[in-house]
Amino acid sequence: MPSSEVLVPLPGAARPRDALSRPLRDLRISVMDRCNFRCPYCMPRERYHESYRFLKSAERLSFEEIVRLTRLFVALGVRKLRLTGGEPLLRANLADLIGDLTSISGIEDVALTTNGILLARHAAELKAAGLERITVSLDSLDPAIFARMSGGFAGVDDVLDGIEHARRAGLSPIKVNAVIQRGINDHTALDLVERFRGTDVIVRFIEYMDVGNRNHWERELVVPSQELLERIGARWPVVPLDRNYRGEVAARYGFSDGGGEIGFISSVTQPFCGDCSRARLSSDGAFYTCLFATVGASLRDPLRAGASDEELLALIRGTWSARADRYSELRAQRRVAGERRKVEMYYIGG
């Protein structure tokens, strides 16, 4: 059935709640498992080498399949979408997909997370297709540290150029995500604040997380957001701001002198599982209910085998209803069992 015909109005009561009573509100879609960077905390180069077997094109969901599944998620309560990867701008004609997704009735927000390298080339067409806002990852303005944390395939200026093109194209707000690792880039965090203070770019610091099993995560490398907040606040006083909406992952702070805002995503020291309404769709169509999940439910296989919308809805609803994930809370309580096998972030999407 063409995706335009898939409209499944469901009464509010049919919207699933998971085992911890959390609704399904957000969907993160990984449109591309490949990446043109090799950030050691995500896709360490020794594991993702030239002969690593990424998905073949036919294994990835087509745009039509993504749109069909998204409509079903919307019928179950999803209102916000984030396109991610891998590097989403490596996916050819991504603007076409954005155009289709932004026109789905019920969708209130479509966002995109990118490493920014291809953004200068694509910002205007993304905006024209209906994208309103964008998140660009940039861990440090120091060229050597940036190279170390991204794999050395491009420079800081390329990312800054991408941000500038996004600004000129009218994408707003622009958020900059920086993963902070102790002894690697934490001493350059204030430079990022200084660079973007007083502009409309919002810098958000992310605690280094133990996603996947391949990034050699060590708790000692995590800089607690509270520590970073104190360092920043000592230089530029800040006040806490209210959350924009329930379930927002970043804690927001405004500069007392009116110089804009910053955010902290603290999944290690201040887990936010209690409000988590996020589902994730991998590039090959597996439905994951947590960033730290071990298994996903394939939606692509039944879809390609001819499943009806009702059958797919039942699968999504059943998977969400059974969800009891609260990995980050358990990690904080040191109740995570040893070396469990988790899905990798580039595949499921950040």
Which residue, chain included where needed, has tokens 């179950």? Answer: 76
Q: Per rule CB under 6 A, is residue 35 in the interface with ligand SF4?
A: yes
Stretch that binds ligand SF4, among 19-27, 31-39, 57-65, 127-135 (CB under 6 A): 31-39
Q: Per rule CB under 6 A, is residue 85 in the interface with ligand SF4?
A: yes
Q: Which is nearer to ligand SAM, 3 or 137 (CB)?
A: 137
The nearest distance, CB 151 to ligand SF4, in angstroms, is 7
- Which residue in 85, 31, 88, 105 sits closest to 63, CA to CA? 31
The one-letter amino acid code at 98 reads I
Distance CA 302, CA 298 (A): 7
Q: Which is nearer to ligand SAM, 17 or 133 (CB)?
A: 133
Binding to ligand SAM (CB under 6 A) within 108-167 occurs at 113-115, 137
Among 6, 27, 43, 265, binds ligand SF4 (CB under 6 A): 43
Q: Per rule CB under 6 A, is residue 95 in the interface with ligand SF4?
A: no
Q: Per rule CB under 6 A, is residue 180 in the interface with ligand SF4?
A: no
Among 23, 25, 26, 37, binds ligand SF4 (CB under 6 A): 37
The nearest distance, CB 321 to ligand SF4, in angstroms, is 30
Work out what residue 114 binds among ligand SAM, ligand SF4, none; the CB cut-off runs from 5 to 8 Å by kind: ligand SAM
Work out what residue 43 binds among ligand SF4, ligand SAM, none; the CB cut-off runs from 5 to 8 Å by kind: ligand SF4
Cβ within 8 Å of residue 346, ≥6 positions away: 30, 33, 35, 42, 43, 48, 85, 86
Work out what residue 27 binds among ligand SAM, ligand SF4, none; the CB cut-off runs from 5 to 8 Å by kind: none
Q: For residue 328, what are its two tokens? A: 């980050």
DSSP result, 112-181? EEE-STTHHHHHHHHHHTT---EEEE---SSHHHHHHHH-SSS-HHHHHHHHHHHHHHT--SEEEEEEEB
Among 35, 94, 154, 169, binds ligand SAM (CB under 6 A): 35
Instruction: Give all strands of the β-sheet with 297-298 in edge-to-edge order.
Output: 238-240, 251-255, 261-265, 201-207, 174-180, 134-137, 109-114, 80-85, 26-32, 278-281, 286-288, 297-298
Sign of the CA dihedral with 157 first, then 177, 181, and 40 last: negative
- Which residue in 295, 297, 294, 291 sits closest to 329, CA to CA? 291
Closest chain position to ligand SAM (CB):
350
Report how many residues bind ligand SF4 under the rule CB under 6 A. Answer: 12
The nearest distance, CB 8 to ligand SF4, in angstroms, is 33
Q: How many Cα atoms sit within 13 Å of 25 on the Cβ side?
A: 12
What residues line the site for ligand SAM (CB under 6 A)? 35, 41-42, 84-85, 87, 113-115, 137, 177, 179, 206, 208-209, 211, 215, 345-346, 350
What residues line the site for ligand SF4 (CB under 6 A)? 35, 37-39, 42-43, 85-87, 115, 137, 346
